[in-house]
């Protein structure tokens, strides 16, 4: 694992600043769009199974709400920090704007290690955190969703807690819920389906064919695991996979369904038969056509970017590439599909879930996937066209589209003196 510390928020701001320069934004507009609108820090007690009480720290940051209610996931991890949540909230603003859905950007996180906690402890933590952030939450104000180490069950507990305070059910207050309580068909797979759509579009753009393309994926959770399965089904050769326990490599291809079964049974990929173990750092430098970081921020840095051998990097994770690494990848001709486009499938189907909950009228999985495909394909083409027009890379193409949409909304709403 790469150890250099780079502030994710500094990376997010550097990306924004470059777009603001290119767009010639006024000083006032830059200042408005650069800073988070609201930041809530909460310290709250949770009773542990042994009877002790532990105080946990969590955050909810709303970066911008000029295009609609704040939207973004909640992460449970020992690495959560206010700096990280700020960056993730800012990326949500641009992501929703790239795919042109009517949301602003937010993100939440709790500093905890859910792998060391019982189900009961996780439920009590989730409910108490939801209570703490309920002053921001609501179907018209701020709508959380899952992110790293959170899942539909946790969304169900949070929706239930919020609803208890209201006195009636408010399914549209949170997305990524189980189907039985107002979740959407297709949300669980949505981020990975979006990754599939942009990967196919990138392959078409470069004249690559799935059957002759090898893929390496870092992270084997909701996003990485399902992306691996969908790309395997597409005919790509998945040659490297990893999770927090380390990586596995087989240049002849890994049978992804077998790896998924093994990971479900053993809790991780360590010991998967028929593969060579590699570290997460080595995994990123394996010879392959397509590299998909789908775990954490700051994985491709100035220290390892020059050794990335892939032709295409699909950023399924948020913020996996530092600014320095981005320049190196560009110089080396690696096509980077930026996070704010590549992983936007999740929030797109969250948008569908919110719309369905508000209307109490539900769509079929086929309708969801077809609409998701249309939005992701259209967004890929728009980003590609913008980057070609402006003679820049896809990240800047996506930023130019997104920032100009948010700036336009801000300008139209006016700045109250």
Shortest distance, position 52 Cβ to ligand NAI, whole Å = 26
72 binds, among ligand AKG, ligand NAI, none (CB under 5 to 8 A by kind): ligand AKG
15 lies in the binding site for ligand AKG (CB under 6 A): no
Helix axis angle, 119-133 to 152-166, nearest 10°: 50
Going by their DSSP bridges, the two strands 214-218 and 237-243 should be labelled as: parallel
212 φ/ψ sector (left φ>0, alpha ψ -120 to 50, else beta):
alpha
CB 129 within 8 A of CB 112: no
* CB of 150 or CB of 322, closer to ligand AKG: 150
Residues that bind ligand NAI (CB under 6 A): 1, 146-149, 191, 218-224, 242-244, 280, 294-296, 316-318, 343, 346
Give the x/- contact pattern for ligand AKG in 264-303, rule: CB under 6 A.
Answer: ----------------------------------------
* CB of 217 or CB of 239, closer to ligand AKG: 217
* CB of 71 or CB of 395, closer to ligand AKG: 71
Binding residues for NAD(+): 191, 222
Indicate which single residue of 123, 147, 160, 315 sits in contact with ligand AKG (rule: CB under 6 A): 147
Shortest distance, position 160 Cβ to ligand NAI, whole Å = 20
Shortest distance, position 411 Cβ to ligand NAI, whole Å = 28
- Say how many Å lie between the first and final Cα of the chain, rounded: 49
Tokens of 105: 């950007």
Residue in the structure block whose two tokens are 């929703």:
96
- The catalytic position among 37, 107, 177, 386 is 107
Q: Which residues contact 263 (CB under 8 A, 6 or more apart)?
A: 220, 225, 243, 269, 272
CA distance 88 to 7: 11
Indicate which single residue of 15, 350, 356, 410 sits in contact with ligand AKG (rule: CB under 6 A): 350
Shortest distance, position 219 Cβ to ligand NAI, whole Å = 4
CA distance 149 to 151: 7
- In this chain, which residue has its C-beta nearest to ligand AKG? 73
Nearest alpha carbon to residue 317 among 296, 348, 288: 296
318 lies in the binding site for ligand AKG (CB under 6 A): yes
Nearest alpha carbon to residue 158 among 184, 123, 189, 190: 123
DSSP for 248-296 reads EE-TT---HHHHHHHHHHHSSSTT-TTSEEE-HHHHHTS--SEEEE-S-
295 binds, among ligand AKG, ligand NAI, none (CB under 5 to 8 A by kind): ligand NAI
Question: Is 107 among the residues known to form the active site?
Answer: yes
CA distance 166 to 161: 9
149 lies in the binding site for ligand AKG (CB under 6 A): no
Alpha-carbon 308 to chain mean position: 22
317 binds, among ligand AKG, ligand NAI, none (CB under 5 to 8 A by kind): ligand NAI
Shortest distance, position 192 Cβ to ligand NAI, whole Å = 8
CA distance 371 to 164: 33
Shortest distance, position 317 Cβ to ligand NAI, whole Å = 3
- In this chain, which residue has its C-beta nearest to ligand NAI? 221
Residue 333 β-bridge partners: none
Indicate which single residue of 104, 293, 346, 397 sits in contact with ligand AKG (rule: CB under 6 A): 346
- Residues 60-89 touching ligand AKG, rule: CB under 6 A, are 71-73
- What residues are labeled active site? 107
Q: What is the contact surface with ligand AKG in residues (CB under 6 A)?
A: 71-73, 95, 145, 147, 175-176, 318, 343, 346-347, 350
């Amino acid at each position: 694992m790469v150890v250099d510390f780079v502030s994710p928020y500094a990376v997010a701001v550097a990306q924004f600043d470059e777009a603001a320069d290119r767009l010639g934004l006024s000083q006032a507009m830059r200042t408005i769009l650069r800073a988070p609108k609201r930041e809530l820090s909460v310290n709250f007690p949770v009773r542990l199974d042994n009877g002790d009480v532990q105080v946990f720290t969590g955050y909810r940051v709303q970066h911008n709400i000029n295009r609609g209610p704040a939207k973004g996931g909640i992460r449970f991890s020992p690495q959560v920090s206010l700096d990280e949540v700020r960056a993730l909230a800012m990326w949500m603003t641009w992501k929703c704007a790239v795919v042109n859905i009517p949301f602003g950007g937010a993100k939440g996180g709790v500093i905890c290690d859910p792998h060391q906690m019982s189900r009961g402890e996780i439920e009590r933590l989730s409910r108490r955190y939801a209570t703490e952030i309920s002053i921001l939450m609501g179907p018209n104000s701020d709508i959380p969703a899952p992110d790293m180490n959170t899942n539909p069950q946790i969304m169900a507990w949070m929706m239930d807690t919020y609803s208890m305070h209201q006195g009636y059910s408010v399914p549209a207050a949170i997305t990524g819920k189980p189907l039985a309580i107002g979740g959407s068909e297709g949300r669980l797979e949505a981020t990975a389906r979006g990754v599939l759509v942009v990967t196919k579009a990138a392959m078409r753009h470069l004249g690559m064919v799935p059957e002759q393309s090898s893929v390496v994926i870092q992270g084997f959770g909701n996003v990485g695991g399902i992306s691996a399965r969908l790309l395997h089904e597409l005919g790509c050769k998945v040659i490297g996979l990893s999770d927090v326990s380390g990586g596995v490599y087989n240049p002849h291809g890994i049978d992804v369904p077998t790896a998924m079964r093994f990971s479900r049974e053993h809790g991780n990929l360590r010991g998967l038969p028929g593969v060579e173990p590699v570290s997460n750092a080595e995994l990123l430098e394996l010879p392959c056509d397509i590299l998909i970081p789908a775990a954490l921020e700051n994985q491709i840095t100035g220290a390892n970017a020059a050794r990335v051998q892939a032709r295409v990097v699909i950023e399924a994770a948020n913020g996996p590439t530092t600014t320095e690494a981005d320049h190196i990848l560009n110089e080396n001709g690696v096509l980077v599909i930026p996070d704010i486009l590549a992983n936007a499938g999740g929030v797109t189907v969250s948008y569908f879930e919110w719309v369905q909950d508000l209307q109490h009228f539900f769509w079929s999985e086929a309708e969801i996937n077809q609409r998701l495909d249309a939005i992701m394909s259209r967004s890929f083409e728009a980003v590609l066209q913008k980057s070609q027009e402006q003679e820049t890379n896809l990240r800047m193409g996506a930023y130019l589209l997104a920032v100009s949409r948010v700036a336009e909304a801000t300008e139209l709403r006016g700045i109250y003196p």
